[in-house]
A and B are shown apart, each in its own frame.
Chain A
């Protein structure tokens, strides 16, 4: 199976809630969502973001928009108020996750009309 970035399957957005970050991933197709559900587990995302030092990662589903939402608890090194990082609010985390290389084989996502 070819290796592709997750961005071939999904788009997304991330932000902060205090010292926690949320990373939402939205599949372009039903087929892609089925793949995400099976493969993009909380454990996989926790391992990928391990250098951020999150205390735990929780996954929620929003099947109505083909979405998975990950909560990365205590991942922002203090959050907007006291983190010394440039990205105090986790704005770039979704883009980072979408760079994850995955094994995926499917019809390519359809561009928007």
Chain B
């Protein structure tokens, strides 16, 4: 293939359920990528898998795949690459096969990429000197070893390319770097190797993957200058059309809303980046400061020049561990001096709990509408007619957090006038899974590719 069109129809688990279908049907794609795993998703999936050995993957994907089967019939060459496998890519693949079989698509080959799950290997890894110390502060993981619920290495594009090499039509992975979902197909289609001769091109495709991995964020979503004329209600999801030299364009299907311009692409280029000259992925360390953007025509931006800045000998590891419980509830406070009353209402709520014998490891009161989203920085320039009171607590004791959820309703009668909005009942209590980033030698992790 001398060019490849890769579209990303899902930027996170919870993204629009129709976007993958619209993108696949209108995008003239070679590959549809679907990204489901945020930093914390794996811990939630790990807990699900612990309760049910056939669970632990992004179930939205099965729904999307079911509805995609007519498109897969109409476009027999369309391939799908997704990290929907989460903590259990094999179970996800088995369900995907069932969906395909039910639609008469028995010839479709589904491959699984695994080997990222380090939880069963933790003690073996410790014993052989892989300490998984905290990336930021060097703390030893041994302090929280018994609370760990998941530990996954971010794998790269190589096993995805290997799966495609083996004829897979659908590749379902566990934890891989988001950009690698795009790099894998490019490596496969263009026959690149992970050597010095191809590293700049792998870096360029990493730029492409980074730009499209968050879905509509490249095509007008979150754009500072979006307005009603941007028609975000009909936003088109992003397509990277790449050439064998690594240059590519970013566009979206014709006739969709949103916008692809230098501003939308530049904002996304720097999104969730630390040093733009060193964007670390398992495939390459990419230099985003050599990227050149130019508007080719409306809603088509050409991207050239992303280069490699070396390659690391480590994978990033994301560890999640149990860290108590939290809950957050809201009420609306209307009337004069609403923000002041909201803060007092929050203080009353916490004082009542104190009288009942409950103080919390951490608590927070916000008056939303009065600038508390970025506390102490943005202040309201007028006295808002109403604000949302939000109170949140975190504590190791579940019972203490449960007691907190029962203290909102009393404010409706014993608080200030204008207290309202108690219609959804008590807020839920959720377990906190704290995030622990680490590195591990690539030699200690073996990616596994399996055709199901």
Interface residues of A in 79-103 (CB under 8 A from B): 79-82, 84-87, 92-96, 98-99
Q: Which residues of A contact B362 (CB under 8 A)?
A: 84
Interface residues of B in 394-419 (CB under 8 A from A): 394
Q: Which residues of B contact A84 (CB under 8 A)?
A: 326, 328, 362-364, 392-394
Q: Which residues of B contact A2 (CB under 8 A)?
A: none
Q: Is the CB of B270 within 8 A of A18?
A: no
Chain A interface secondary structure, helix, strand, loop or mixed?
Answer: mixed
A50 to B376, CA, bound (A): 8
Of B40, B270, B328, B374, the residue contacting A67 (CB under 8 A) is B270
Q: Which partner residue on chain B sits nearest A55 by CB separation? A: B136
A94–chain B nearest beta-carbon distance, Å:
8
A50 to B377, CA, bound (A): 8
Q: Which partner residue on chain B sits nearest A65 by CB separation? A: B266
Q: Is the CB of A13 within 8 A of B40?
A: no
B109–chain A nearest beta-carbon distance, Å:
36
Chain B positions 60 through 82: 1 when the CB is less than 8 Å from some CB of chain A, otherwise 0: 00000000000000000000000
Q: Is the CB of B377 within 8 A of A80?
A: no
Give the interface segment out of B117-125, B168-176, B351-359, B433-441: B433-441
Q: Is the CB of A81 within 8 A of B368?
A: no
A54–chain B nearest beta-carbon distance, Å:
12
Is A112 in contact with chain B by the CB < 8 A criterion?
Answer: yes
Instruction: Tell me whether A26 and B261 are in contact in the complex, defined as CB-CB below 8 angstroms, given that A81-B40, A84-B328, A86-B368 are known contacts.
Output: no
Instruction: Tell me whether A11 and B435 are in contact in the complex, defined as CB-CB below 8 angstroms, given that A18-B136, A24-B271 are known contacts.
Output: no
Q: Is the CB of A96 within 8 A of B290?
A: no
Of B263, B290, B292, B372, the residue contacting A11 (CB under 8 A) is B263
Q: Is the CB of B293 within 8 A of A65?
A: yes
Q: Which residues of A contact B292 (CB under 8 A)?
A: 64
Instruction: Tell me whether A51 and B376 are in contact in the complex, defined as CB-CB below 8 angstroms, given that A24-B270, A82-B434, A85-B366 are known contacts.
Output: yes
Q: Which residues of B contact A81 (CB under 8 A)?
A: 39-40, 43, 320, 323, 432-435
Most A CB contacts (10 A, CB to CB) among B263, B267, B269, B374 go to: B374
Instruction: Tell me whether A64 and B377 are in contact in the complex, defined as CB-CB below 8 angstroms, given that A12-B267, A15-B271, A26-B263 are known contacts.
Output: no
Is A35 in contact with chain B by the CB < 8 A criterion?
Answer: no
A62 to B291, CA, bound (A): 9
Q: Is the CB of B374 within 8 A of A96?
A: yes
A62 to B288, CA, bound (A): 8
Q: Which residues of B contact A73 (CB under 8 A)?
A: 136
Instruction: Tell me whether A60 and B267 are in contact in the complex, defined as CB-CB below 8 angstroms, given that A81-B40, A96-B378, A112-B261 are known contacts.
Output: no
Q: Which residues of B contact A60 (CB under 8 A)?
A: 274-277
Of B266, B377, B392, the residue contacting A26 (CB under 8 A) is B266
Interface residues of B in 328-353 (CB under 8 A from A): 328
Q: Which residues of A contact B435 (CB under 8 A)?
A: 18-19, 79-81
Q: Which residues of A contact B43 (CB under 8 A)?
A: 81
Most A CB contacts (10 A, CB to CB) among B136, B267, B268, B328 go to: B267
Is B47 in contact with chain A by the CB < 8 A criterion?
Answer: no
Q: Which residues of B contact A49 (CB under 8 A)?
A: 377
Q: Which residues of B contact A43 (CB under 8 A)?
A: none
Q: Which residues of B contact A61 (CB under 8 A)?
A: 276, 289
B6–chain A nearest beta-carbon distance, Å:
22
A41 to B154, CA, bound (A): 33
A-B contacts, 8 listed (Cβ < 8 Å): A11-B263, A13-B222, A61-B276, A65-B269, A65-B291, A69-B274, A81-B39, A81-B320
Closest 3 CB pairs of A and B: A51-B376, A24-B270, A84-B392
